[in-house]
């Protein structure tokens, strides 16, 4: 390995340690309570050294959020391989959201639960891939409508919101230890999907209006708090 390659490897290792330390602190102490100095102390670096890698605390968050959404999106793409009905495809997408909360609880908490983080809409181009995933889910829901699996009265973005908040709710209950003794979070998540799909199929009139922001990209809980 040459000098340049070794330097790049060492630099990436430091960047990784900054991100890992920041993720743990943001989740355990809250984004607004964590300073660059506190991150530096955790990895035994100077604050000035961290500024050599990131412009500030917001930049660190955006890097973590990008990693988290890529983990979520890449997992969804991997699960999407194979032949499925449009309805099966949509269900798989939302099962993946719940699985993500189990596999990556720190990323999930930072992306969907932490209320003091900056809006990722401030980094519009950086998260284009996440908006693309939103569009794919919307198109898949429309395919369900076109195939007759869902009524034509269903609005795809409203259906996406219903499915998302249901899975977010179960994930939050599990992660915050709010489930009763003996309750099975996995079974609850499956039941939520069954009930929401059954409600959508029934043609029940929904009061919710179509939304512009996707709850998979801008947390529903953050939106309600703003």
CATH code of 34's domain: 1.10.10.60
Please indicate whether residue 208 or residue 197 has the higher confidence score (pLDDT).
197
Number of structural domains in the chain: 2
**92 and 167 share one domain:** yes
Say if residue 223's pLDDT is above 80: no
**208 and 106 share one domain:** yes
> Which residues, other chains included, contact 197 with Cβ-Cβ below 8 Å and sequence gap of 6+?
87, 91
**Number of alpha carbons in the 13 Å side-chain half-sphere of residue 81:** 5
**1 and 95 share one domain:** no
**74 and 45 share one domain:** no
**50 and 79 share one domain:** no
Last residue of a domain, one of 38, 54, 70: 54
**153 and 118 share one domain:** yes
Helix (H, G, I), strand (E, B) or coil at 149: coil
- Say what the pLDDT of residue 222 is: 42
Summarize pLDDT for 152-170 with one digit per residue, the tens: 999 999 999 999 999 999 9
**22 and 115 share one domain:** no
Please indicate whether residue 184 or residue 82 has the higher confidence score (pLDDT).
184
Domain that holds residue 5: 1-54
**159 and 183 share one domain:** yes
Predicted confidence band of residue 184 (pLDDT cuts 50, 70, 90): very high
| CB-based contact 8:95 (threshold 8 Å) | no
Closest CA to 224 of 154, 164, 180: 164
Question: Tokens in use for 64?
Answer: 């973590």
Closest CA to 56 of 70, 41, 37: 37
Question: Tokens in use for 199?
Answer: 């409600």
Question: Tokens in use for 158?
Answer: 């409203």
- Say what the pLDDT of residue 212 is: 60
Q: Which residue has the tokens 């743990």?
A: 24
**19 and 99 share one domain:** no
For the ranges 128-132, 189-193, 217-221, the lowest mean pLDDT is seen at 217-221
CATH code of residue 108 = 1.10.357.10
**131 and 48 share one domain:** no
Say if residue 188's pLDDT is above 70: yes
What is the average pLDDT across 75-93?
Answer: 77
**33 and 66 share one domain:** no
How far apart CA 220 and CA 203 sit, in angstroms, is: 24
Last residue of a domain, one of 54, 71, 94: 54
Say if residue 39's pLDDT is above 80: yes
Tell me 113's DSSP state.
I
**48 and 69 share one domain:** no
Summarize pLDDT for 112-146 with one digit per residue, the tens: 999 999 998 888 889 999 889 999 999 999 999 99
């Amino acid at each position: 390995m040459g000098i340049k390659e070794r330097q790049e490897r060492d630099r990436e290792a430091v960047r990784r340690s900054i991100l890992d330390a920041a993720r743990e602190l943001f989740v355990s102490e809250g984004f607004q309570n964590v300073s660059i100095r506190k991150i530096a102390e955790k990895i035994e670096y100077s604050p000035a050294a961290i500024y050599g890698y990131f412009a500030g605390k917001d930049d660190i968050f955006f890097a973590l959020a990008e990693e988290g959404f890529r983990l979520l999106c890449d997992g969804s793409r991997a699960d999407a391989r194979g032949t499925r009905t449009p309805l099966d495809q949509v269900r798989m997408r939302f099962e993946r959201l719940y699985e993500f909360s189990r596999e990556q609880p720190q990323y999930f908490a930072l992306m969907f639960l932490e209320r003091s983080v900056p809006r990722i809409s401030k980094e519009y181009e950086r998260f284009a891939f996440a908006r693309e995933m939103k569009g794919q889910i919307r198109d898949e829901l429309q395919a369900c409508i076109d195939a007759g699996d869902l009524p034509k009265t269903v609005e795809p973005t409203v259906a996406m919101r219903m499915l998302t908040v249901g899975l977010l709710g179960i994930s939050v209950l599990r992660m915050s230890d709010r489930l009763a003794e003996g309750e099975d979070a996995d079974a609850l998540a499956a039941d939520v999907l069954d009930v929401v799909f059954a409600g959508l199929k029934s043609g029940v009139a929904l009061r919710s209006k179509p939304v512009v922001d996707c709850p998979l990209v801008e947390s529903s809980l953050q939106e309600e708090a703003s």
